[in-house]
Amino acid sequence: MSSMHGAGSGPAPQTGRYGKARTRISRGDVAAQREQNAQAPQIPNLLRRILELFVPHRAALTVTIILVLIAAAVSVIPPLLTQRAFDEGLFPPGDTPNLSRLGLLVGIMMALYLGSALLGVWQTWLTATVGNKVMGALRVRLFTHLQAMELSFFTKTKTGVIQSRLQNDVGGVASVLTNTISSVLGNTVTVIAAFVAMLLLNWQLTIVAVVLMPILVFAQRRVGQVRARIAGKTQESLSDMTAITQEALSVSGILLSKSFTRQNAEIGRYAEENDNQIRLQVSQQMSGQWFFAMVNIFLSSIPAIVYLVAGWLMFNGQVDVTAGTIVAFTTVQARLMFPLMGLMRVALDLQTSSALFARIFEYLDLVPAITDKPGATLVPSVGASRGRVEFDRVRFAYPDAGAEARPTLDDVSLTIEPGQFAAFVGPSGAGKTTVSYLIPRFYETSAGRVLFSGIDVRDLEQESLVSHIGIVSQETYLFHATIAENLRYAKPEATDAELVTAARAANIHDTIDSFPEKYDTMVGERGYRLSGGEKQRIAIARVLLKDPPVLILDEATSALDSISESVVQAALDTASHGRTTIAIAHRLSTIVAADVIFVVDAGRIVERGTHAELLARGAFYAGLYARQVTASPDLAV
């Protein structure tokens, strides 16, 4: 079939199905990684795009920000009260503990702890709600954008890879979406407040506490770059695993592996990628552990260093520091440690997630090749030309076929009148199926025009255009749902009586009625619980429920046995009555009654006419027919 031009001419994979190259992190990757980093979104631009995702939730964010600011401000008050508790309550000038003063200060601290905890719970609920809504909206936005992509995008991209972008990549940025704003804001305010409090307590000790911070910031940036690189490779590996799962565990994949006893090969393929994923996950988790261990050691050691420096200063008489000041200072410094590490973790998460966001935005930034032009019109619902299909000097080459490849269709002109039964025949790869792709504008012509109901399809709204066309292909797709649900995919509001009417017209009602659960029968994944003829007739009933003026039959009976074919053919004859019908045919016996037959060879219309006219001409079509009759004498008409 000519559709193979679109499916098979994309960029070739680097290796075969069972010899897939593995992604490794090595020194040899440095140059490639530098190029990747140059092409990836920069952090400021990335932050801007992330923040734009939160715009619809500005009210909840405003409340969250207020809570964060209050909680951060409250968190540094208890250490200052601790100084008062020591110097005015436990060890006042009179050497006798002032219990009333101490009780008041402790009571205030306890109230602040309780209030801070309540604010934290409220803030967590708000951030979790907003973050998950943003993540859900991002997933729907990505899904919606993919729905708008042209057919060629999906012929070049594995389904599992697309699924991975929707699930793994969006899920991988969940923590960034839910925690970034509150964490950055809250920790920043806490760090600033703690730093000011430390300065107020003792500026000399503050210098000791923060002197090595720039080194930590530099180290954090280097660790973030490594983690971002590993994160990108991890997501690529997850995409590969999802693709393998989708291919190998689908009904078609299971049948294929069992038919060729390739289960162990599929297990090995999955296990190999799984080992790669494990290695990458371990590398990603360990890449920042030494850094945070050193940060933890440094920040945990500061109180001991403060004690030493304070003692040295007091011993040399350079400063008079009370015990309360030292305790309060180390308490504030301890409160500085956690938000500071939190900021570093957020910075690392942003750097790590940059690879994931780059993959998500890469898809969101794709521009569909086929869109409605400004002022596009609806297909006319009435008129003498309704249902007419015309090709005007059409030339078409698949986008990824290459400049050297011959066009799939070349200078094709034809007209199919409303209500006419037209058939396209010819050898495989001649361009027959491509004709059926251009009519609903699944692809754009390279040159020339395709007209529907007298209007260039590029001037029509695509949704309106496709709504006037029904397609029954050789490979019928049914959802893992009931027969009724599969039928209602064409018309969700259809009544039970309409389902029965469509099923009767498709010669499938009696078969459905014989099932124990009738129209509530589950068809299984891709309809594998039904025979090929039953699936095709349900697909025909689904099209009849849509009731389009134009019907395209793409080799709808070529995969069926002769008995099933005769039943399905009868259903197709009923379905095509009163409609413009375009049949892509392999078995010539199914189109002998066509009003016009177009013979396609090497992308050109080489003959046209009725069955009798073409046989009488004794040319290309007559040769095709003679060969089929010789191979199967029962096909003779």
**φ, ψ (nearest 5 deg) of residue 425:** -130, 160
Helix (H, G, I), strand (E, B) or coil at 581: strand
Confidence of residue 7 (pLDDT cuts 50, 70, 90): very low
pLDDT over 90 at 448, yes or no:
yes
Instruction: DSSP for 374-396, please give it.
Output: TT-BPPPSSSTTTT-EEEEEEEE
pLDDT over 80 at 424, yes or no:
yes
pLDDT over 90 at 242, yes or no:
no
Rounded-to-integer distance, Cα 217 and Cα 450, Å: 61
List the single range of 78-92, 498-512, 536-550, 584-598 with lowest mean pLDDT.
78-92
Rounded-to-integer distance, Cα 451 and Cα 385, Å: 10
- H or E element, residue 449: strand 447-452
For residues 128 and 253, the model is more confident at 128
Q: Could you tell me the domains of the chain? A: 47-364 (1.20.1560.10)
Q: Which two tokens stand for residue 119?
A: 């604010």
Contact 545, 499 (CB under 8 A): yes
Q: What is the mean pLDDT of residues 535-559?
A: 83
According to the model, what pLDDT value does residue 611 have? 92
- Which pLDDT tens digit goes with each residue over 364-398? 888 888 889 898 999 888 777 888 999 999 999 88
Task: Provide the 8-state DSSP code for 566.
Answer: H
According to the model, what pLDDT value does residue 389 have? 94
Q: With CA atoms as reference, report the closest residue to 194 among 182, 206, 204.
A: 206
According to the model, what pLDDT value does residue 199 have? 78
Q: What is the mean pLDDT of residues 397-426?
A: 85
Query: One-letter amino acid identity for 371?
Result: T
List the single range of 24-33, 135-144, 175-184, 520-529 with lowest mean pLDDT.
24-33
**In 53-94, alpha helices (H):** 58-75, 77-84
Rounded-to-integer distance, Cα 91 and Cα 529, Å: 84
pLDDT over 70 at 21, yes or no:
no
Q: What is the mean pLDDT of residues 609-622?
A: 91
Confidence of residue 452 (pLDDT cuts 50, 70, 90): very high
Q: With CA atoms as reference, report the closest residue to 190 among 88, 72, 90.
A: 72
Rounded-to-integer distance, Cα 524 and Cα 315, Å: 84
**In 373-491, alpha helices (H):** 432-438, 462-467, 483-487
CA dihedral 510, 516, 518, 521 (to 10 degrees): -130
According to the model, what pLDDT value does residue 400 have? 73
- H or E element, residue 425: strand 421-425
Confidence of residue 258 (pLDDT cuts 50, 70, 90): low
pTM beyond cutoff 0.75: no
Rounded-to-integer distance, Cα 424 and Cα 1, Å: 12
Confidence of residue 36 (pLDDT cuts 50, 70, 90): very low
Instruction: DSSP for 538-555, please give it.
Output: HHHHHHHHH--SEEEEES
pLDDT over 50 at 249, yes or no:
yes
pLDDT over 70 at 523, yes or no:
yes
Task: Identify the top-confidence range among 285-289, 369-373, 575-579.
Answer: 369-373
**What mean pLDDT is reported for the chain?**
77
Task: Identify the top-confidence range among 57-66, 314-323, 388-397, 425-434.
Answer: 388-397
Q: With CA atoms as reference, report the closest residue to 467 among 389, 384, 385, 550.
A: 550
